Amino acid sequence: MKSMTDIPRPATSPRSAAALSADPRNVQLTEDGKLRHFLTIGGLPKEVLEEILDTADSFVNMGEKSVKKVPLLRGKTVVNLFFENSTRTRSTFELAAQRLSADVLSLDINTSATTKGETLMDTLQNLEAMGSDMFIVRHADSGAQHFIASQVTPNVAIINAGDGRHAHPTQAMLDMYTIRKHKGDFSKLKVAIVGDILHSRVARSQVQALNTLGAEEVRLIGPKTLLPDTLAGLGAKLYTRMEDGLKDVDVVIMLRLQKERMDGALLPSEGEFYRLYGLTEEKLNYARPDAIVMHPGPINRGVEIESAVADGPQSLILNQVSYGIAIRMAVMSMSVSGQTQQKVQNQENAASQGNDGETSA
Amino acid sequence: MKLTICGGRLIDPAQNIDELIDIHLADGRVLALGQAPAGFNPERTIHAEGLVVAPGFIDIGAHLREPGPSYKGNLRSETKSALAGGYTTICCRPDTSPCIDSSAVVQQIMDKVEALSQAKVMPIGAMTKDLKGSHLSNMAGLQHTGCVAVSNMRQPVESSLVLRRCLEYASTFDLQVVFYPEDHWLKADGCANEGELASRLGLGGIPASAEAIGLSRVLHLIETTGVKAHFGMLSTARAVEMIANAQQRGLPVTADVDMAHLIYTEAEIDGYNSQFFVEPPLRSEEDRAALRQGVRDGVLSVISSAHLPHEEAAKMAPFAAAEPGMATLETTLSQGLSLVAEDLLSLNQLVERLTSGPAKALGLPMGSLSVGQAADLCLFDPEAEWVVNDESLHTAGENTPLMQQEVKGQVQFAIVDGQVAFERNSR
Amino acid sequence: MTTHTNLPDVNTLIEQLAQQLKQHIQNQNLNNIALVGIHSGGVWVAERLHSLLEQEEALGTLDISFYRDDYTRVGLNPSVKPSSLPFATEGRHIVLVDDVIMSGRTIRAAMNELFDYGRPDSVTLVTLLSLPGRELPIQPDITGQTLTLAPGERVKLTGPDNLSLELQTAQ
């Protein structure tokens, strides 16, 4: 059985792309530092994030052509595996795959069905045996996609569409794209993220991306029940008042509030949350006059955001959706490219080991 | 069987012995140390040059998996594994399937153990029926059939009133209770130490306060009821502090920490390595430092194994969906020796925490090699290097983070009641 | 054939191309041709041809990055300029322009892309230079000059102003 622990633990100093890929904790990169799985923003160097944004740029421009397809993934099979329901995210991934000319298969797997029958491992290995080149996975367990990429099907490109409370990297990248396109240089920007940070995988990925891309300041705003101190270590300043947290920010990102939060004694009511943290026109005035407003969607009008703001001139919520397809096309084509490069590299390694008279690994 | 072990380094902390001295066994007991008695003709002589000769290790809380699913292990494989790890007595935990809450289950285990003639087993019985935390188990019956203590393991006893009654009842029979303190509400669905790392990984956190609050509640009830108590598998600095405090106030409580918590911290779970998913969770460097200090000071007078074997598939899942636990009986010694090598512990202290420490904690007449004692010994080579893999391990468990790694320190012989119960083939 | 030391003058070559193209259009009876250049060198050449032929209709440009057959090996080039075809290709006579043809794969990719837009009536290939080394059976209809390079040498068109050819030796 392969052991994940017989690779020496790397030093904690800044790491080169090559060192990062040798680290078993970062399975995302090839030996040359190219993306071959897209699991989390954490561990990816700035260059890779910028490559994703630049690649997405080409795909956004593509929308102006009358032909909306390119043959990059022609002949490749992309499987959407959503263990958690989501029509929106799944359909944007389907669309992205189709625009890359891939064959797309979408499987909605009820988690309870899996626990009754097939293990996660068996489900995926069966799909791999059917000739899949990419799995787009959404799962309720944090680290599920890491598990899949490192232990189950490392030769199938894994794209994380959200895992538990850990990461939602494609959402974070489309948010970064939106910010870069409308605001430019990250190093001059103050960004505030508001709402249920505790349960938000989107927020975690956004904070990591903003810091890697060099944002001037990242702020998290919410009540203490939804904003534990342990999150400061992610690289953000914590605020409990909108008045303080939104002061002079350039970007306001509102997060969706789920109704279950009232049951866990995390919030008393939607009403109180809206009074304190809902983004109204009045609260938006704390930010800079040219601040942009974003939301990963779907929005809860009157709970986290006022309609006038959501539909207003500073809102980029609909733009985010359109950029989402381009970002997903970018990570999908980059990771298939990385997987192919890795396979070529593995073959070359095996060949040279064979030539030395040793048996290959 | 008359047996002489000569040329070995005898370490018996209970008698303050650490020297090259021979030991002679007869009729299942220690006959003499040093020179053989006149006319003593051993049927076998073991040449123990280069080996440490110590009392057989005693473990509090290993899981022996029987009754229960045999693909995870059973009494045969796990008592063999115990011997291979130097353990001659296992006080096994009660959360088997079914749990050890009836004399019938205890009898079943004791009969099997006797037939196997491998390591001795003294079960820890369930404190409440089915470990559900609401009704007393037949504690007297359990004690009578062979249980050395009772415990509710990691299952909650929600009502403090019920918990008090359990302790009062146990103390009626002078029966010891082993506690694994944790407030299960604060634990919620956590699987990792609450902190920055768990937050970043999106894993539910178990705060250190869960252990402190659970411990605090029990300490007060111990004072009220006078029950004999041992705390198992502590994981936080605060718990060590609270135990030290209680001991200073004269409360007769003992405590242990499992080897993994002396070796590893939460850093091991970065990257979601489910081999390091254990209960209680691996915690911070500060916690580990305090646990190490507690072991040195003797506040933690016992090091336990927390042995919990699983088949490979149990760990092949996303972190929180995997099953917690490590198979450790055969690697605890080498892990302990690595602490000795780093000057974090002396060899004497290590042996003490594995022998007389647990014996005293549970009031067992063992853990020492004084004349007349039952002859339970382990002989180990502290320099032997070996690779942990399917061939070298005897446990059915495949869940050790040390798989395929080379470790140092290996048991060569285990002697139970004067009989050689285990002998490493290579010798 | 010209030896590697003598790189031709680009402007002369383009004027020559323009002449040959006008002749070709007449001979083949190509009505209302549409000029399309391949980024980047082909676009620069096509722009010159566009003014020399006094084309009224706007020039089309193609970026073939997404149609390359080797992207999984060399990776995706992030700095892709968008293709821009301000006319429908369906039923048109296309004149496809590139600076250099060597293996022929760029032209194949360009034709794939053109056909995704719509089926042209014909495609005429014009290249400034032709180098040996075809890997596909694709030949220019009109070419300025055929060159042979020494091993390790590459030729590059520099622009967009003052077009000229440069020789580069691999280190």
Domain ranges of chain B: 3-52+375-393+401-423, 56-361
Q: Would you tell me which residues 112-141 of chain A have a C-beta closer than 8 angstroms to some C-beta of chain C?
A: none
A75 touches chain C (CB under 8 A): no
Q: What's the pLDDT tens digit per position in B288-322?
A: 999 999 999 999 999 999 999 999 999 999 999 99
3-state secondary structure of B422: strand
Q: What share of chain C is helix, strand, coil (3-state, %, to 5)?
A: 30, 25, 45
Lowest-pLDDT range of A72-86, A164-178, B132-146, B364-378: A72-86
The count of domains in chain C is 1
Note the pLDDT of residue A232.
85
> Measured between beta carbons, which residues in chain A are less than 8 angstroms from residue B321?
120, 141, 144
What is the signed CA dihedral for A246, A250, A251, A254, rounded to 10 degrees?
20
Note the pLDDT of residue A319.
92
E strands present in A48-168: 77-82, 103-108, 134-139, 157-163
A118 touches chain B (CB under 8 A): no
Q: Over 70: is that where the pLDDT of B63 sits?
A: yes
Burial class of A321 by CB neighbour count within 10 A (0 to 12, 13 to 18, 19+): middle
Using pLDDT thresholds of 50, 70 and 90, give the confidence band for residue A207.
very high
How much of chain A exceeds pLDDT 70, in percent? 87
Shortest CA distance to B12 belongs to which of B295, B348, B361?
Answer: B348
Q: What's the pLDDT tens digit per position in B192-233?
A: 999 999 999 999 999 999 999 999 999 999 999 999 999 999
Using pLDDT thresholds of 50, 70 and 90, give the confidence band for residue B119.
very high
| Residues in Cβ contact with C68 at an 8 Å cutoff, skipping those fewer than 6 apart | C74, C105, C109
Note the pLDDT of residue A66.
62
Note the pLDDT of residue B33.
96
Q: Over 90: is that where the pLDDT of A280 sits?
A: yes
Higher local confidence (pLDDT), A69 or A248: A248
**At A264, phi and psi to the nearest 5?**
-90, 20
Domain that holds residue C116: 10-169
Note the pLDDT of residue A353.
80
- CATH no. of B56-361: 3.20.20.140
* Helix runs in chain C, H state only: 10-28, 41-52, 71-74, 105-117
Decide if the complex's ipTM is over 0.90.
Answer: no
Note the pLDDT of residue A26.
75
Shortest CA distance to A343 belongs to which of A31, A27, A20, A19?
Answer: A31
Average pLDDT for residues B245-257, to the nearest whole number?
Answer: 96
3-state secondary structure of C11: helix
CA distance B326 to B347: 24
User: In chain C, which stretches have pLDDT less than 50?
Assistant: 1-4
Average pLDDT for residues A234-242, to the nearest whole number?
Answer: 94
According to DSSP, residue A149 is labeled I
Q: Do A64 and C82 touch (CB under 8 A)?
A: yes
Q: Do C75 and A71 touch (CB under 8 A)?
A: no
Note the pLDDT of residue C73.
66
Which chain A residue lies closest to C67 (C-alpha atoms)? A71
Question: B56, B355 in Cβ contact below 8 A?
Answer: yes
Cα-trace Rg, chain A: 21
Q: Would you tell me which residues 395-424 of chain B have a C-beta closer than 8 angstroms to some C-beta of chain A?
A: 398, 401-405
Q: Is residue C106 part of a domain?
A: yes
Q: Would you tell me which residues 222-241 of chain A have a C-beta closer than 8 angstroms to some C-beta of chain B?
A: 228, 230-234
Q: What's the pLDDT tens digit per position in A91-123?
A: 999 999 999 999 999 887 765 445 556 788 888
Shortest CA distance to B334 belongs to which of B86, B18, B91, B49?
Answer: B86
- ∠ CA B290-B292-B298, nearest 5°, is 100
Note the pLDDT of residue A297.
86
- CATH-assigned architecture of domain B3-52+375-393+401-423: Roll (2.30)
How near does any CA of chain A get to the CA of B51, in Å? 29
Question: Best mutation site among B196, B201, B404 for testing chain A: the one with the most A CBs within 10 Å?
Answer: B201
Cα of A345 vs its chain's centroid, Å: 27
Q: Do A71 and C66 touch (CB under 8 A)?
A: yes
Q: Which domains does chain A have, with CATH numbers?
A: 37-167+324-337 (3.40.50.1370), 169-319 (3.40.50.1370)
Please report all neighbours of A, defined by 3+ CB atom pairs within 8 A. B, C
**At A334, phi and psi to the nearest 5?**
-65, -40
Q: What's the pLDDT tens digit per position in A299-325?
A: 999 999 999 999 999 999 999 998 999
Question: C109, C68 in Cβ contact below 8 A?
Answer: yes
Cα-trace Rg, chain C: 16
Q: What's the pLDDT tens digit per position in A29-78?
A: 988 889 999 999 999 999 999 999 999 988 887 666 666 788 899 999 99
A57 touches chain C (CB under 8 A): yes
Note the pLDDT of residue C163.
87
- Angle between helical axes of B103-116 and B75-84 (0-180°, round to 10): 60
Q: Would you tell me which residues 26-45 of chain A have a C-beta closer than 8 angstroms to some C-beta of chain C?
A: 34
- C49's tokens: 């041809």
Higher local confidence (pLDDT), A14 or B405: B405
Shortest CA distance to A195 belongs to which of A246, A145, A116, A254?
Answer: A254
Average pLDDT for residues A158-182, to the nearest whole number?
Answer: 97
Q: What's the pLDDT tens digit per position in C131-168?
A: 999 999 999 999 999 988 888 888 888 888 888 888 88
Distances (CA, A) of A157 to A54, A332, B53, C65: 20, 8, 54, 21
Q: How many CB atoms lie within 10 A of CB C103?
A: 13
Note the pLDDT of residue A14.
39
Shortest CA distance to C17 belongs to which of C166, C150, C143, C129?
Answer: C143
Q: Do chains B and C touch (3 or more CB pairs under 8 A)?
A: no
Question: B85, B118 in Cβ contact below 8 A?
Answer: no
Q: Do A230 and B196 touch (CB under 8 A)?
A: yes
Lowest-pLDDT range of A140-154, A208-222, B331-345: A140-154
Shortest CA distance to A214 belongs to which of A188, A196, A240, A251?
Answer: A188
The model's pTM:
0.87
Question: What is the separation, in whole angstroms, between the first and last Cα of chain A?
Answer: 13
Provide the CATH number for the domain around residue C55. 3.40.50.2020
Q: Do B203 and A143 touch (CB under 8 A)?
A: yes
Q: Over 50: is that where the pLDDT of A129 sits?
A: yes
